Amino acid sequence: MVRRGRRPKKRTGSGAVGFLLILLLLLGAAGGAAAWFVFLPAGPTTETFVEIAPGSGSRLIGAELERAGIIRSRYGFDAVRLWKHGSLKAGEYRFDHAAPVTEVYARIAKGDVYTVAVTIPEGSTRFDIAARVAQAGFVNRNDFLATTANSTSLIADLDPHAHSLEGYLFPDTYRFQRKATSLQIVSAMVRRFRAAAAEIGLTPGGRSRNVHDVVTLASLVERETAVDSERPQVASVLSNRLARGMPLMTDPAVIYGLLVEGKWRGTIYQSDLTRDTPYNTYRHAGLPPGPIANPGLPALRAALTPAATDYLYFVAAGADPQGKSRFAATLEEHNKNVASYRQAVKQAGGR
């Protein structure tokens, strides 16, 4: 009798289990690597800037970030891009601490570009603004002034005969990227002026028949008093004098004429009042050729709608200890106000 040999038992499932274990290990390793690339913070400990040019794709952006040491790997950035599906914004970005790729990506998707603030006070001239812009590190002072003189096309519909952008560079706090050009800066200020002017109806064909004259008058009002409540009265004095053909006799206009000619010495002298410039409102009746500063909204409102008064004279608040201007309808009353003003200054220890 022949014995049949026993067949060896099959080792069911052992190979599949091993393969599965290896696969799980590989997936775990890949997941760990992905987490290390994506979620573990990386980046600089000191201030680092990265410029992303318009039209840059995510791969190029990832490569630039990796090159600058902001992220560990461009591939981690690509992975987040596939996950988030957001659009990325061009501009200059500032990084100064370690962060995960997800945070870096979120900032660029949001457009959290680095900007520098510059504040333009009400009544600043374009010369003042040029100095502030240069001090903030944006552009050269002379380059800025040249742009304000050569870019009047920005306001051609408002003031077709403007000699510069003086009057239309609205006072406000602005934030610009470090590489902003002079044209970008003045364009932003003009846009802000347009918004403010539209708010009060100061538009061609609107409540104002002549934007140029209103802005010029507003610039005088702005420079003559810093007290908002007095601006309508100051505007009324100037408007009343214009209506009677009287010279405005405003020192700020004389000073601006000297600034334009490079003759301003920091203090106004008697000889300056007789110097023949187009802005000398002692020698020339009517408004000066254009705005002498950049007025804020209260001054624009006052010029657009002056108070109804019979005032023809005023002593500006200036150094007045009482902190207010003194208005008069007659020269006699004005002379009394001048004497009273001088006495108050003397008593306060002035000269």
For 120-154, the DSSP string reads: --TT--HHHHHHHHHHTTSS-HHHHHHHHHH-GGG
User: What pLDDT does residue 202 have?
Assistant: 93
Number of domains into which the chain is organized:
2
The answer to whether residues 313 and 327 touch, using CB atoms and an 8 Å cutoff, is yes
CB 226 within 8 A of CB 301: no
Domain span including residue 153: 126-311
138 and 259 in a common domain: yes
Same domain, 196 and 303: yes
Same domain for 94 and 173, yes or no, is no
In a shared domain, residues 157 and 275: yes
Residue 189 binned pLDDT confidence (cut-offs 50, 70, 90): very high
Residue 68 and residue 134 in one domain: no
- Render pLDDT for 22-36 as a digit per residue (tens, 0 to 9): 555 444 444 445 555
Q: Are 305 and 326 in contact (CB under 8 A)?
A: no
The answer to whether residues 284 and 141 belong to one domain is: yes
* 38 or 121, greater pLDDT: 121
Report helix angle 74-84 to 58-67, nearest 10.
Answer: 140
Based on the fold, state whether residues 296 and 206 are members of the same structural domain. Answer: yes
Is 298 part of any domain? yes
What mean pLDDT comes out for the span 46-70? 91
CATH number at 99 reads 3.30.1490.480
Phi and psi, residue 344, nearest 5°: -65, -40
> What pLDDT score does 85 carry?
79
In a domain, 329, yes or no: no
- Given phi > 0 = left and psi -120 to 50 = alpha, else beta, which region is 39? alpha
